[in-house]
Amino acid sequence: MSQAGPRVLVTGAGGFVGSHLAEHLLAAGWAVRAFVYDDGAGGIGLLHHLPSEALAALDIVRGDLIDAGTVDRAAAGVDVIVHLAAQSSVPYSIEHPRAVFGANVLATLNLLEATRAHGAGRLVYASTGAVYGTARYLPIDEAHPLHAGSPYAASKIGAEALVSSYHASYGLPTVILRPFNIYGPRQSTQAVIPAIIQQALTADAVHMGAPDPTRDFTHVADVVDAYRRAATVEAAVGGVFNLGTGTDIAMGDLARTIIRLAGRDVPLVTGEADRLRPAGSDAQRVCASADRAREALGWTPQIVLEDGLRRTLDFYAGQLGTA
């Protein structure tokens, strides 16, 4: 596999989006250094899903992003850094705010310092649509007020502020992307769509929390395309961009769609207490405006929700042996 393109460091490369991005950039001819969390067992996370040729082409670095020396060494000699690594669980952040602050804010500071020290051409930061909290108006654009409804959201707002400050203070070329809800193959079954799919394929009923909140879901293939554009398009530098489809769906309707696509006649049970988020920590309605990303990055999501759900169902059916 030939790599004649830019040299990129992808943090969180062993995760859901990171493994897809590493695979996507390798296929485009980029030289990819994949930073994965050192779990003490030499694991590479979800990168094991990559074809053997792609996996062999990766420069894999194991470590912890809160260690500044490790980050500095990983950032040496790259043209672009795409920072995806994060602790992203809202319930975990409520129980362990200090750990989430370290993983999401201190790690970002270390990467910004390393980007500045080594002269990398750009740092692309993966934020989240969760920084907006419950919508004051719809669709949510980048001018919408930020609201820290959980320690997780607060940590992402804080990391965004650091990224923006390094662009303003040092002229560091940075881009902030705010993807809304991402889904697709390889996502943890603790996430809502895989959790529903797993039940729809194997259980006697699908159990979920509140059916009324809405979310704007974007397929992971569209999201990684946006990251590639953010890393290369000159007009992106200094910008903040939402990533979403502009269409939201109620969680109950999402579950019913998945059950239908799975082809199984199982009931939907909603409102289960152990599946509800803590009061005040979750937005009730989410729908993104991605007009700015379309104009500056030339990005428009290509995969409609039902097609994306079919692809995701096929993946998990294969994993569960129900295909």
Q: Which residues are catalytic?
A: 152
CB-neighbour burial class of residue 146 (10 A; exposed 0-12, middle 13-18, buried 19+):
middle
Positive or negative torsion for Cα 24, 101, 163, 67: negative
DSSP codes, 274-298: GGSPPTTSS-S---B--HHHHHHH-
CB-neighbour burial class of residue 278 (10 A; exposed 0-12, middle 13-18, buried 19+):
exposed
Return the HEC string of 126-156.
Answer: ECCHHHHCCCCCCCECCCCCCCCCCHHHHHH
Cα gap 18→224, rounded to integer Å: 9
Cα gap 230→176, rounded to integer Å: 8
The single-letter code of the amino acid at 185 is P
Pairing between β-strand 268-269 and β-strand 206-207 as defined by DSSP bridges: parallel
Nearest residue to 159 (alpha-carbon basis) of 207, 204, 125, 115: 125
Q: Which residues pair with 60 in a beta bridge?
A: 34
Q: Which residues pair with 126 in a beta bridge?
A: 177
